[in-house]
Amino acid sequence: MSPIGIFDSGYGGLTILHGVRHLLPEYDYLYLGDNARAPYGPRSFDVVYEFTRQAVIKLFEMGCQLVILGCNTASAKALRTIQQVDLPKLDPNRRVLGIIRPTAEVIGQLTTSRHVGVLATEGTIKSESYKLEIQKIYPDIVVSGVACPFWVPLVEYNEADSPGADYFVKKRIDQLMRLDPDIDAIILGCTHYPLLMPKIVKYVTPGVRIIPQGEYVAESLKNYFLRHPEMEQRCSKGGTVEYLTTENPDKFRESAQIFLHEHVDVKNITLA
């Protein structure tokens, strides 16, 4: 078995897994959530790198030839170092991919005004990863970002549909649009945020496009396999999904229901 590994600090990566499975259901998947040490957003670059490195090594040990960091913070703070420093030593034939670049690659086709907004965690906004990646490809696009510190807890405590969520969602969207009223596309730069979509759509100016990442990461992976058939052939195809967590399995099962609307079997593991 050589499943595709998907790693996240918590539960949000389940929206990435959902998008990838929808487009590529034939592959085997292994999802690892470091829920015991979440959230990663406020943590330093060094800590996020070390935690992410531990997770990648664990997924490699469990047979994964390809690992997707289904976490914006890990993609922003750890991906490049793992690719450039660790992979040559761990196994130069394996691959670790992030979820920021796939969105950056398509954003030029999704904006007319060339003004783009990013709503994400504090760590992702401070890293300016979206701005850097987008402007590498599209130097003419203006990127503005706002951190949304209360959005993740709203989702994880199953309050995304509550009246109280409206205040926090509207506040950050208004803040972003004040920064740049010409924005016509907003990237949801945190994998939890698609679960707030009904509230987000409610408060975004009509005509502004909302861009969740799942479908673009899935399309990017499909294209990656077309360009790298040698990697595609190393990924097993049994249509299975296995879930791992560093937290209590019962808690993971309960929270996974919010993201996947299905019962999952999950095993506890330790990262070190």
Residues with catalytic function = 71, 190
212 phi, psi to nearest 5 deg: -80, 160
Answer whether 196's CB lies under 8 Å from 172's CB: no
What is the SS3 assignment for 128?
coil
Q: How many CB atoms lie within 10 A of CB 105?
A: 18
Task: Say if residue 45 is exposed, middle or buried (CB neighbours under 10 Å; 0-12, 13-18, 19+).
Answer: middle
Structure-token pair, residue 128: 């300016």
Cα separation, 149 vs 22, whole angstroms = 29
CA dihedral of residues 223, 226, 229, 231 (deg, nearest 10): 0
Residue type, 95: R
Backbone angles phi, psi at 97, to 5 degrees: -120, 155
Position 90: which residue type? Answer: L
245, 187, 239: which is closest to 216 by C-alpha? 187
